[in-house]
Amino acid sequence: MNPLDRQRQLELVREANRAPSVHNVQPGRWRFLPDGHVLLFEDLGRHLAVADPAGRDGRVSLGAEFEGLRIALSRHGLGLRDPDYAPPAAPETSPLRLVARSAVVAGDRTDALAPCVPLRHTYRGRFAPVDDAAVETVRALFEAYRDVIVISRPSEIGEIAEVHDHCTYQFVERAEYHAELYRWMRFSRRDPAWHRDGLTADCLGMSELERALAGALFHPRAFRVLRALRLARRLVAEAPQTRSAHAIAIFHRQRDEDAFAIGRRFYRLWLEVCRAGLSLCPMSAVADSPEGSAWVRQRWGVPEHSAIVNVLRIGKAPAGALRASPRLPAEELLV
């Protein structure tokens, strides 16, 4: 007998969906079966065909959502069995693809990271001035982890800042990549999706003036002109924000590890950063670019058996600067 009534299910998936997802696409959909099993589906309508052709970032996001449900259940003395992965998909006819099967089980105590779930937000602005104690906090946090390399020397952070901007522009200058990204950007509160998903101007840390300008300049037609005039790179540059980081973390995992499991680990790592009073911003372009990741691997000695999952800039967000990103209504997450 499933002990979770619909109200409780909504509460749980709402919390699970606070997990980070690429472009805030929120790909996970849930079904609780009467016998206690839980099914996690991917909404294929949310797939980023250009930015994420192999679906890897989507799968990382799904893993994070799964971990989010596990954490949410822990508040109620419940647990979530480790998932069985659904077999690789045959050609899909349904917009939903089964990703994982699990079951609600008796649990133990509330997950120690649960209080951080509502506090964790991607922070994309400039960090507060670096202080040695915060850098030490990052080092201490990751010291025991073999899957994180920490960089804190300002000159090395500066190198990453340059590489990140270079890689970002290599992606964004492709018209089809840009068009897909633009579809997930929300410049105006009047956008009907402003409260639902995607990357809002608030979360991108834009002022009123910046969002008005960016809304016009980022439009694919305008961007094409800027590209031709060699002005577009500046529009997507984040070097000042990256340089303000207290530290950069290179997160790497075994090459053959399933992206779903990586997503679970990624979310917990992020919540730990939050628990330490710090914020982060992923810089996926470095990890996704063969050139960027090869350079990082060589420069900082990432082991050959590992793949770089992401490169994270970490620091203290200035007081009041964090913004909660939108989420879909929980009713839409239950299928």
Pure H helices in the chain: 6-16, 56-74, 132-142, 154-172, 175-183, 208-217, 220-228, 232-236, 239-243, 259-275, 284-288, 290-300
Our CB check for ligand FMN shows the closer of 30 and 32 to be 30
Query: Interface with ligand FMN by CB under 6 A: which range of 20-28, 34-42, 142-150, 154-162?
Result: 20-28
| CB 78, min distance to ligand FMN, A | 24
| CB 23, min distance to ligand FMN, A | 6
Q: What is the token pair recorded at 229?
A: 């005039």
Helix axes 132-142, 259-275, angle to 10 degrees: 140
Q: x/- site string to ligand FMN, residues 256 to 295, per CB under 6 A? A: -------------------------xxxxx----------
Q: x/- site string to ligand FMN, residues 83 to 122, per CB under 6 A? A: --------------------------------------xx
Task: Give the separation between CA 13 and CA 24, rounded to whole angstroms.
Answer: 15
Residue 55 is a binding residue for ligand FMN (CB under 6 A): no
Residue 29 is a binding residue for ligand FMN (CB under 6 A): no
Residue 197 is a binding residue for ligand FMN (CB under 6 A): no
User: How far is residue 254 from each of residues 88, 168, 270, 273, 305, measured CA to CA in Å?
Assistant: 20, 25, 19, 22, 6
Nearest to 182, CA basis, from 227, 222, 220, 235: 220
In this structure, are residues 305 and 255 in contact, taking their beta carbons and an 8 Å threshold? Answer: yes
Residue 61 is a binding residue for ligand FMN (CB under 6 A): yes
| CB 192, min distance to ligand FMN, A | 18
Task: Considering only CA atoms, give the Rg of the chain.
Answer: 20
Our CB check for ligand FMN shows the closer of 107 and 173 to be 173
Residue 27 is a binding residue for ligand FMN (CB under 6 A): no
Our CB check for ligand FMN shows the closer of 4 and 292 to be 292
Residue 199 is a binding residue for ligand FMN (CB under 6 A): yes
Task: Give the separation between CA 276 and CA 266, rounded to whole angstroms.
Answer: 16
Using CB under 6 A as the binding rule, the residues of this chain from 161 to 180 that contact ligand FMN are none
Residue 20 is a binding residue for ligand FMN (CB under 6 A): yes
Residues 6+ apart with CB under 8 A from 199: 23, 24, 184, 185, 186, 325
Residue ranges in contact with ligand FMN by CB under 6 A: 20-24, 57, 60-61, 64, 121-122, 124, 199, 281-285, 325
